[in-house]
Amino acid sequence: MSLLVVVTGATGFVGGPLCKLLAERGHTVKGALRVLTKGFPYPSIAVGSIGPATDWTTALAGCDAIVHLAAHVHEVAPTSESMEIYRDVNVEGTRNLAHRAAQSGVRRFVFLSSVKVHGEATLGRALLETDPLMPVDNYGISKTQAEMSLMQIAVDTGMEVVIIRAPLVYGPGVKANFVSLLRTVDAGVPLPFRSLNNSRSLIYLGNLVHALATCLTHPAAANRTFFVSDGQDVSTPQLIDKIAAALGKKARLFPFPPALLAGVGSLIGRANMMSRLTDSLQVDISSIRSTLGWEPPFTLSQGLADTAYWYRNTR
């Protein structure tokens, strides 16, 4: 079944590969962009900044389905003003788009959310989609509120909504902490993580776009929420070992008391980054596996190899 699919954030880290995959599957892709971007290989329309007053009329004309990726993600320091930006873009902007989509006859709305709706760490077991929502930061709070709005719109209008909660996404074009870790490992910097025995879920970009494309068309995905991951959780030292191998390097890890690492992070002003390296954060993907028959098409090692290849060729 060929669909006309509007993708928000179509030129971004996830959007570009998703558009390519959708086109390969025979769908017609239309990018909803803040401004028109030279070289974007698919039809597109400029909608300006996403918020409660964005006019989606032209973008949604003839649209069968939407994949909503665009979001306000990063902030330097949380403030009440920054929370307003999160609310305008991630909550009210999503609500406005979904309302307009339902009015335009869009049949399915796929929303990229985050594991952060459940908080920043897990203890003892992987998260299930039915676990309590306990967001900690502004981004997680805004994604939680957006999810709740979407499910209510689904009830009120009959438009099918699918929510994908992703853990850390890596792959070619990755930014922020993951690319910093790549640089650190590549430079051979000794790291004090050998004693850690945590467990974290990640998802390779290729696996994420495959899951999004599957949820776009699978009948059983309607009005469901799914976790996705590579299906192979790793500790921080295991991840660093695998990154080093992908880069053709040897990891330089040394033991250090895990209980002291949080204090070290605070001393150097990197408490949040340190907690992401030392805590566990696992998701259980058995629901998407059993409901949709979805399996990640790429292994963690394949994803890291692709990421390392990109990194090596773009330094």
Active-site residue list: 139
CA distance 196 to 252: 14
The answer to whether the CB of 13 falls within 8 A of the CB of 205 is yes
CA distance 177 to 208: 19
Residue 254: helix, strand or coil by DSSP?
Answer: coil
Q: Which of 284, 182, 199, 280 is nearest to 238 (CA)?
A: 199
The answer to whether the CB of 70 falls within 8 A of the CB of 8 is yes
Kindly report the number of other CB atoms within 10 A of residue 289's CB atom. 15
Strand (E) or helix (H) holding 67: strand 65-68
Which ranges of the chain does DSSP label H, i.e. alpha helix?
15-24, 80-86, 93-103, 138-157, 176-186, 205-217, 236-246, 258-267, 271-278, 286-292, 300-314
